[in-house]
Structure 1
Amino acid sequence: MYIPPAFRLDDRAATLAVMRENAFAILVAHSAEGIEITHLPLMVEQRGEDLVIRGHVARANLIVGLIESGAAATAVFSGPHAYISPDWYASEDQVPTWNYIAVHASGRLKAVPAAGDTNDLLADLSAEHETPLVPKKPWTHHKMREGLMGRMIKGVLAFELPVERLEAKSKMSQNKKPEDIAGAAAGLRGRGDAGNVTVAEIMEG
């Protein structure tokens, strides 16, 4: 990923937060035979000094062959983003741009075919996204009919992506003058929706 020095995000905790807060990611797997891309929820797990991404796909997905062969892959996490109009800047002769945060996590895929491991992954994944829904009682597979979850697990393949390279970019007008940043942030706030306001808050922080 192209990252000018001003936009490099070196804070590991902040990088992991971006990944976890934007867990519906894009997985790009590549080999000599070609590239497969899939959209899916991913989990980010710190194991000591190692960072591992966990996920699962339908066995009918063409990316399964690349997972089973240990293909190189990159998980792409897209954070907050917004269009920036040059009319919002105090300075003249500016051009339109886009502010955004993105993380690329690369390594080699590893299949985790054991049914028990797949069950654990699915339980962890649902727990991660059910917990914020309190006071609703979290959904678990125990609410399903006896044996149904086991049959459904046969149709998916769990995998891991041990991260060998982690790149993070936060392009939030760091290369602009304070008055330009303030003007752009005000313009974003004027649009009113949550996505634009989030970017404004990051710029102002």
Structure 2
Amino acid sequence: MYIPKYFQVTNINEIIEFIERNSFATIVTTKKGKPIASHLPLGLHKHGEDYYLTGHMAYGNPQWRTFETCDDVLVIFQGPHGYISSSWYEHENVPTWNYQAVHVYGQASIVGEEELKQDLSELLEKYEKQRENPVLWDKLSPQLLESQLKGIVGFKIKVQEVQAAYKLSQNRNEEDYHNIIEKLQEEENLNSHPLAEAMKKIKNKGN
């Protein structure tokens, strides 16, 4: 990923927080030289000094079979993004697009049934525990779980390289920066408000 120096993020704790908050990812591999992708929720785990991404996909999805033949898997995590109008600047300039993205490169492998069950249990815990009537692993019938497990394949990706970019107008002057935040807050686009909050957050860190 091309990352100008203004936008590069290297703080591992910040990157981990971003991945956990934006865990619905795009996994890219190649099949006979052609890129293929799947869109899946992933978990992030640390074992010793190593980080792993974990997830599952349908057995009928041919992508999991490429894990054995691909040296590298690319996983893309994306945060809020949006159009930045040049009318929001103090001086004449061109419009742009702000975004947050993390690219993770690693080696993928298929996991066994017990490891898959553990990962699914943790996935349910993450997304269900705050709900009024959480449906956790131990509340589902063994018959249902057994039938569903037959239709999926679990995998893990050992993280080998991470690239992170937050393109959030850091190269603009103070007046333009605050004006962009205000204009984004006025927009009705679904991503505009989270994008404004992301800009506020990195500005506060800088101060």
* TM-score > 0.5, shorter chain as reference: yes
- What one-letter code is carried by the residue in structure 2 that aligns with 1:41? P
Q: What TM-score comes out, normalization by structure 1 length? A: 0.91
Q: Give 2:180's match in structure 1, choosing from 184, 193, 196.
A: 184
148 and 201 in structure 1: CA distance in 2 versus 1, 3 angstrom threshold: closer
Q: Within 2, Cα distance between the matches of 1:17 and 1:194?
A: 21
* Range with greater deviation from structure 2 (194-203 or 167-176): 194-203
Q: CA deviation at 1:57?
A: 0.6
Whether the aligned pair in 2 keeps the contact of 1:31 and 1:72 (CA below 8 Å) is: no
Q: Within 2, Cα distance between the matches of 1:201 and 1:115?
A: 40
Partner of 1:109: 108
Q: CA deviation at 1:192?
A: 5.1
Q: Within 1, Cα distance between the matches of 2:186 and 2:121?
A: 41
Q: CA deviation at 1:194?
A: 5.8
97 and 132 in structure 1: CA distance in 2 versus 1, 3 angstrom threshold: farther
Whether the aligned pair in 2 keeps the contact of 1:115 and 1:154 (CA below 8 Å) is: no
Q: Within 2, Cα distance between the matches of 1:14 and 1:111?
A: 28
Partner of 1:15: 15
What do residues 163-183 of structure 1 show as CA deviations (whole Å, max 9, x unaligned)? 100000000101111111111
Q: CA deviation at 1:62?
A: 1.1
What do residues 55-95 of structure 1 show as CA deviations (whole Å, max 9, x unaligned)? 10111001021124454211100012121111011122x11
CA RMSD of aligned residues (A): 1.7
Q: Are 2:118 and 1:123 equivalent residues in the alignment?
A: no
Q: Within 2, Cα distance between the matches of 1:139 and 1:129?
A: 9
- What one-letter code is carried by the residue in structure 2 that aligns with 1:67? F
Whether the aligned pair in 2 keeps the contact of 1:28 and 1:38 (CA below 8 Å) is: yes
125 and 70 in structure 1: CA distance in 2 versus 1, 3 angstrom threshold: farther
Q: Within 1, Cα distance between the matches of 2:190 and 2:176?
A: 21
Q: Are 2:199 and 1:203 equivalent residues in the alignment?
A: yes
Partner of 2:94: 95
Whether the aligned pair in 1 keeps the contact of 2:54 and 2:155 (CA below 8 Å) is: yes
* Range with greater deviation from structure 2 (142-151 or 48-57): 142-151
**Where do residues 1-205 of structure 1 align in structure 2 (5 Å cutoff)?**
1-30=1-30, 32-69=32-69, 71-92=71-92, 94-112=93-111, 114-133=112-131, 136-191=132-187, 195-204=191-200, 205=203
Unaligned runs of 5+ in 2: none
Q: Within 1, Cα distance between the matches of 2:125 and 2:109?
A: 23
Identity %: 31
